[in-house]
A and B are shown apart, each in its own frame.
Chain A
Amino acid sequence: MSVLTLTINGIECTGREGQTILDVIRENNIPIPALCNLKGLTPVGACRLCLVEVRGISKLVPACTTKIQEGMFIETDTEKLRTYRRILVELLFAEGNHVCASCVVNGNCDLQQLGFMVEMDHVRFDYLWQSFQIDASHPRFVADQSKCVKCTRCIRVCDEVEGAHVWDLKGRGIATRIVSGLNQPWGQVKECTQCGKCVQVCPVGALFDKTATPSEMVKDRSFLQRILEGREAKLWAR
């Protein structure tokens, strides 16, 4: 495997061929926002928060889905990127009904963290106050669409790791919604193994444990790495 050299924020770094820009950014402990990306799941480039500037490319490129190339010159923290990131985060807050004070993950929320990171002291756009559904039909979990940021982490973990493929997206644009079992109430989807992986990877309060009260739900992000590394090492093979 060949080693490539590139420059990130003026500092020379190396990466292996096939790695994404985000991989190298993370290996070098450079802070960058990323919402839809989760190590261990196929990158999809859905949220656009990891956009970076690459010299010679006029568009901003998503770091999570762009492979590194020899001699790349990357900037992760320019005025332009900061402007767009804050707009993106504000739009996410304006689109859902994120009343954090009453949310189960208040204080443990990736979207809140992003807000802090982009220094969001208020939202400059009109809040939409759309009507969303809450599905509490599952015996253990609840899906509250108003908090969903359409990162598709739940879809990917259920499909790629659990192998049950309960979740999908329906609709377009602002009408996009997650659906379980081809739009059945979650509790009626026989394929759901109740493993809770989707709940743990969901960055916000959209999927949560039924018994959790506001600010109580802490998600375990490390389980995914434990499972994937265990599989790789054939820990559970007979």
Chain B
Amino acid sequence: MGKIRIGTVWLGGCSGCHMSFLDLDERLLELAQYAEFMSSPITDWKLHTPIKEYQDYPEVDITLVEGAVVNTDNVEVLKIVRERSKLVIAFGDCAVSGNVPAYRNLFGVDDVLNAVYLEKASYNQQVPSDKTVIPKLLNKVVPISHVVKVDYFITGCPPSADTIWYTIKCLLEGRQPKFTEEHYRYG
């Protein structure tokens, strides 16, 4: 049997979930025996936004998605990734619930852009109009499951390395992860 093909994706998140993934430490070596990393923002294959790079996203068995869906690019990326992945996992609270990025939902998009780029900016006050720099923000930040079907949810901000390991290990061994109190964590 060939190696399991894994990809990870970084949408509207702080990269903390990916950092937690790296906290697998020596378990990464074990993982490397069974799995092949096809794409991730922490490998040297610079595959994040803009969206056109994602046209080449490979066919994989598992994709871990970090971050909430905050802009139109995220929606497109997520749909491509869903199509090419056998399993999609919401990776951390931003992907699961919207979490901190969704605080923006309390304000209108224009108010947010104005506050960041005009009112609080000390020089060169202008809202970027080049959509390859700032893709169009969605009116509401949403969890990834509100855009595509999600197979598993790993909660936590960030999820603990142990929970990440437990989930991946189950899937490698062809078992359904059965989450219990020790795995759940919101925030």
Interface set of A (CB-CB < 8 Å, partner B): 93, 97-103, 106-107, 112, 115-117, 119-124, 126-127, 129, 131, 215
A122 lies within 8 A of B98 (CB): no
Distance between B179 CB and nearest chain A CB, rounded to angstroms: 6
Distance between B185 CB and nearest chain A CB, rounded to angstroms: 8
**Interface CB pairs A-B, < 8 A, 7:** A99-B99, A100-B157, A106-B186, A119-B180, A121-B96, A129-B105, A131-B106
Residues of B near A98 (CB, < 8 A) are 186
What band does the interface of chain B fall in when counting residues whose beta carbon is under 8 Å from A? 20 to 34
Distance between B14 CB and nearest chain A CB, rounded to angstroms: 10
B103 lies within 8 A of A99 (CB): yes
B102 lies within 8 A of A127 (CB): yes
Residues of B near A112 (CB, < 8 A) are 186-187
Q: Is B109 an interface residue (CB 8 A)?
A: no
Q: Is B155 an interface residue (CB 8 A)?
A: yes
Complex Cα–Cα for A106 and B98 (A): 16
B187 lies within 8 A of A129 (CB): no
B96 lies within 8 A of A97 (CB): no
Cβ-closest 5 pairs across A and B: A100-B187, A129-B105, A101-B187, A121-B153, A100-B186
Distance between A81 CB and nearest chain B CB, rounded to angstroms: 19
Residues of B near A102 (CB, < 8 A) are 100, 103, 187
Other than the known A121-B152, A127-B97, A127-B102, what 13 A-B pairs have Cβ atoms closer than 8 Å?
A93-B97, A97-B103, A99-B187, A101-B100, A106-B186, A121-B155, A121-B184, A122-B143, A123-B97, A129-B102, A129-B105, A129-B106, A131-B106
Distance between B16 CB and nearest chain A CB, rounded to angstroms: 10
B interface majority secondary structure: mixed
Q: Is B65 an interface residue (CB 8 A)?
A: no
Complex Cα–Cα for A181 and B36 (A): 62
Complex Cα–Cα for A107 and B184 (A): 11
A122 lies within 8 A of B96 (CB): yes
Tell which of A100, A107, A122 touches B153, judged by Cβ atoms closer than 8 Å.
A122
Complex Cα–Cα for A215 and B186 (A): 11
Complex Cα–Cα for A215 and B157 (A): 12
Distance between A111 CB and nearest chain B CB, rounded to angstroms: 9
Interface set of B (CB-CB < 8 Å, partner A): 90, 93, 96-100, 102-103, 105-106, 140, 142-143, 145-146, 150, 152-153, 155, 157, 179-181, 184, 186-187
Complex Cα–Cα for A129 and B139 (A): 12
Residues of A near B180 (CB, < 8 A) are 119
B99 lies within 8 A of A101 (CB): yes
Supposing A101-B187, A122-B90 touch, asked if A127 and B98 sit within 8 A by C-beta, the answer is yes
Supposing A99-B102, A99-B103 touch, asked if A121 and B179 sit within 8 A by C-beta, the answer is yes
Distance between B100 CB and nearest chain A CB, rounded to angstroms: 6
Residues of B near A122 (CB, < 8 A) are 90, 96-97, 143, 145, 150, 153, 155
Tell which of A101, A117, A215 touches B93, judged by Cβ atoms closer than 8 Å.
A101
Supposing A121-B155, A126-B146 touch, asked if A115 and B184 sit within 8 A by C-beta, the answer is yes
In chain A, what residue has the closest Cβ to B187? A100
In chain B, what residue has the closest Cβ to A126? B146
Distance between B153 CB and nearest chain A CB, rounded to angstroms: 4
Residues of A near B145 (CB, < 8 A) are 122, 124
Complex Cα–Cα for A126 and B30 (A): 39
Complex Cα–Cα for A116 and B180 (A): 7
Complex Cα–Cα for A227 and B102 (A): 41
Complex Cα–Cα for A33 and B90 (A): 27
Tell which of B102, B155, B187 touches A103, judged by Cβ atoms closer than 8 Å.
B187
Distance between B88 CB and nearest chain A CB, rounded to angstroms: 13
Complex Cα–Cα for A124 and B145 (A): 8
B184 lies within 8 A of A97 (CB): no
Distance between A181 CB and nearest chain B CB, rounded to angstroms: 27
In chain B, what residue has the closest Cβ to A128? B105
Residues of B near A103 (CB, < 8 A) are 187
Supposing A115-B184, A122-B90 touch, asked if A101 and B157 sit within 8 A by C-beta, the answer is yes
